[in-house]
Each structure stands twice: as structure tokens, then as C-alpha cells.
Structure 1
Amino acid sequence: MIHYKVYIQNENAEWVTFVHGAGGSSSIWYKQIKPYKEHFNILLVDLRGHGKSKDLKRKAFVDYTFSDVGKDIVDVLNHLQISSSHFVCMSLGTIIAQSIAAKYPSRIRSMVLGGAVTRLNVRSQVLITLGNLVKHMVPYMWLYRLFAWVIMPNERHRESRSLFVREAKKLCQKEFKRWFKLTRGINRFLHHLLADEPPIPTLYIMGEEDYMFLPAVQARVSQRKFSQLHLVTDSGHVVNVDQPEEFNRLSIRFIQDQQPMERVG
């Protein structure tokens, strides 16, 4: 089982599960834990190969799929006997949450998707193609630093860049390659995954400076019934780090606005 950590507010509180992106770990949520645990029970997970899950022994895992990674999280929910949870996700973690929503919709009460990835633009696809061409020839950290600078180019994105580069150093080259393979054909995968909208309340929180991913999210949300979008000024891709107070205010209020779960007993 992947590594996880819980903070219990009380036995009747709503659960919130935090899902980080590729190259990160649950430590990226350090600006969310304190305000969230005043209201909710919190579940933090380290995705396979990341954080404290990097040393887990797995049988014959060659390649990963988003479905595999999502099942890891569902296994933790089952282990903790959490029937359903709100999900707060960042970057590639937003794809994992939506994979869970497609396969296990009853497990997700609502979704907060920060720096959401719904489609790769031309620049992103060029980067991915370049990365696939040279990933066996250059250290993975060179690629990761390049991606970090392209995705988060501004001076005020420095903290986000530094955080993700620091966390990515904890990955080994083999794990990086496994995760990088997930990007192959990702636009076809996302088109199929997001073709139907599950009836799950969803809040997209995007930085106005998230040049790589914002336009696709804006187009997506305009066609959705259960989704809404909030733009955060002076913020790039990693909005929970760039503007944590605004992110916390918006996301906590959104979760609190959802109807309480029906409880038995």
C-alpha cells in the first residue's frame, strides 16, 4: 500500500483527500494542512514512486497507468473504511482524481482541481516529444528543471519551481521514466476520459498565469454542467503554493457548500 497520513478532526467530519502531481509528494500541501484540519478529516497520500512511497516493493511493475495509480488511492480509502471523500488535487493529480471519478464515482463527493491538466497544448507536446527522445541520454533532473521553467516561468513562481525540483530529486531515474511514459498519447486519453461528465461538483482553481493549461480548462468548463472555474491573479500553475490563502478560502468554502453526506447510525 502507498504511504499515507491522516489528520482527524472528529469522527463525523467530512474527509478530504489530497493528491499531488508527478514529481511532487504530499509535502506540497504544507500550506493547506493547518486551515483544512480545522474543518475536515485529512488524508494525504504519496503516489507510487514518490515521497515515502518510493521504496515500496512492487511485483513486476514495468509501466504505470492512471488507472493503476488511482486504484492505489482507492485501496487506501478501503483500508481506512472511508466510503467517500472530497478530493483536492494539483497538476497531474487532477487526471488521477478524474480517473477515479470515472471508475469509482461513488467514492468522490466533490473535486477541487488546481492547475488542472485537461489537454496538452502544442508547446507541451513539443516538450514531451523532446523528453521522450532524450530521456535515456540525459539525467532526468535536467528535463525536470526544463519543464519547471517552461511551466512556471515568472519570478513569482520561484517558490513553486524550487519546491517541485526539490521533490523531484527524490525520484530515481527509473521512476521518472515510468511516470514520463504516462504522457504518451495523453491527449487521446484525456479526450476519452473527459468525454462524459460525472455528476460530481467540481471546482477548477487556475492561476491567471498558467499559460500552458488554462485555455484548455476554460474551454472545457464552458461545456460542463457540474463544473465551475475560478481564476487567481498573480499565480501560475501551482496555485496552492503561489496564492495559498486564496486557494484555501475558495476550496474550503466550495467543499463546505456541498450537502452533508448521509450517515448511517
Structure 2
Amino acid sequence: MQDQHLYRAADGTPLSYRRLGRPGGPAIVLCHGLAAGSSQFDADATHFAARGFSVLLPDLRGHGASGAPATRAPDAFTIATLANDMAAMLDHADIAQVHWVGNSLGGIVALDLVGRQPQRFASLALFGTALALNLPPGLGAVFPALYAVLGADLLARITAANTTRHKPARPVIADMARAFDPKVGAALTAHVRRYDLHESALRYTGPVLVMVGGRDTAVNLALRPSLRRLAGRPNWTIVDLPEAGHCANLDATDDWRAALTSFWSASASTSA
């Protein structure tokens, strides 16, 4: 059974998440990246729900079925604001602790929240997520410009082709990109172009999994130095997925699911 739930953020923004699986089962959050949505994880949610998990699929503000502040001002799209939205979701769902799986922006949001509210996390898994970025200013203007020049449909198809080599995954990515508001992209990019969440990540002592997509070239340039810094920490597990791109769940599905299942099993054994 799948249910959609609506709640409001602290600033009144209407937000949405879907929930499926066994009530009372171990809780998983599958959180999407920038210009995507919860539909990125539809098949994975069904897979894990059938195995006894309770799965939450949020749409971050400005994405999917969630709303956005009318002004689309950057101040309404800080990393901390999105993280607080997710804490409010867990409160609304009455879930004390989750296994968080974040892709790209969904991982960035989790890295912020885990440093401030670590008690909410049974574990943290990241893919397509750099722990720090330092990109030039002005990137936010790229989103509206590309949508204006290319149009939403063509840009969505180009985005999908550049995101994955796995052709069956491209329609999913294109549909999410086509529905995305470029003004939201501009507001979010003002914050995610430059951040450093190493200290937040290092404060968390629970189990962490980083899945490194072999074909996620751009993110890996920023991620690899962080992994060298984190190598040897007993609570960090790093797994290479050679055929995975930025959205590993869509183009290396079996390996991605297997890595998570093994990680959660090992984490449960360690806790026991």
C-alpha cells in the first residue's frame, strides 16, 4: 500500500512525501537530487517495501509534488532549510530513526541534518554526493538560460542522455527534469555550488556508506579527495560501483540495491 502525505514546513511551504511498506518495519528514506523527484525511486521503494521495510519518498521543496515559496528567493532554499524540512517530515511521519539514502542534493541535505540531529539516523548512505564543493559564482543563472534557449523538452532529453548511459533510465530522468522549475534551480544553486560538510559528516559516529559511481565523473573529482581524508575511519564504508553514473539506482540497480542490503545487514550486526 502507498499513501501520499502532505505537511507544511516552518515557513508555510506545502511539502509532500509518499510512504509504502510495512508499518513498524525498519524505516528507509530515499531522497532524490537536484531537478529530480521521488519518482526516481519508485521501483526501489517497491523492492524494499516487499522485503519488510517502511519506505519514505520525499519530494524536496520545489520538486515533484512539493510546493515552493512564491518568490523563489535563494534565502528560502538554503541547505539547512531543506534539511529542516526533512526533520519536519520525520516528525509528521512519527518516525524516530531512519536509514537515510541520499542521491546528490538528497545526500547534501542529509549531511547537514546528521551533523545537527544525529539521533535521527540509524545509518547514512550517499551516492552522487560530494562532501564539499567550491564552484564559481553565477552558476544559478545557467538554469533559466538553458530552459529559455533550449526549451524544457529538449533540455530534459539532453540532461537524461548526459546523466546515464542506460537508455531505459532516461525517460525517468527526462520526466523529472521536464517538470522542474528553473527558478528553483537558480535559487538552490546559489547554495549548493559552495559548501563544506566534512565536519558535519565527521561528527556522526554511526554507520556511513558511500557508493562511488565509476561513471559519475564530475562528482568524483570533488569526492575523491574527501574519501582519502576519510579512509580508515571504522564507521565509513566505501563501495565502488564501476558501471554506475550519477543516478546509480537507475543504471546499476542490482549492484546499488545489493550494496545497501549488505550495508544495512552489517550495521544491524554491529549494533547487536
1:167 CA displacement: 0.5
Equivalence map 1:6-155=2 (5 Å): 6-11=19-24, 13-37=25-49, 38-54=51-67, 58=69, 62-63=73-74, 64-120=77-133, 125=135, 129=138, 131-135=139-143, 137-139=145-147, 142=150, 153=162
Aligned-partner residue type, residue 243 of structure 2: D
The percentage of aligned residue pairs carrying the same residue is: 22
RMSD: 3.2
Deviation digits for residues 77-106 of structure 1 (CA, Å, limit 9, x no counterpart): 111211111101111211001111011111
User: What secondary structure, in the 3-state scheme, does the structure 1 residue paired with 2:196 have?
Assistant: helix
In structure 2, how many angstroms separate the alpha carbons of the residues matched to 1:141 and 1:111? 39
Q: 1:106 to 1:31 in 2, by over 3 A?
A: same
Q: Which whole-Å CA distance do the structure 2 matches of 1:39 and 1:139 have between them? A: 41
Q: Which has the higher strand share?
A: 2
Question: How far apart are 1:24 and its partner, in Å?
Answer: 0.6
Structure 2 CA distance for partners of 1:35 and 1:212, relative to 1, 3 Å: same
Any conservation in 2 of the 1:36–1:252 contact (CA below 8 Å)?
no
Which residue identity lines up with residue 21 of structure 1 in the other structure? G
Contact 1:149 1:161 in 2 (8 A): no
Q: Alignment length, in residue pairs?
A: 251
Q: Work out whether residues 213 and 248 of structure 2, in 8 Å CA contact, stay in contact via their aligned partners in 1.
A: yes
Tell me if 1:223 matches 2:232: no
TM-score normalised by L of structure 2:
0.79
Q: State the distance in 1 between where 2:157 and 2:114 align.
A: 28
Counterpart code for 1:44: L
Tell me: CA distance 1:154–1:164, structure 2 relative to 1, closer, same or farther (3 Å).
closer
Name the SS of the counterpart of 2:229 in structure 1.
coil
Q: TM-score, normalised to structure 1's length?
A: 0.81
Q: Which has the higher contact order (CA 8 A, sep 6+)?
A: 1
> In 1, distance between residues paired with 2:158 and 2:224?
23
**Which stretch shifts more, 197-206 or 97-106?**
197-206
Shift of 1:164: 2.6
Q: Match of 1:251?
A: 260
- Report the alpha carbon displacement of residue 15 of structure 1 after superposing the two structures with TM: 0.5
SS of 1:4's partner is: strand
Partner Cα distance (2:253, 2:201) in 1: 31
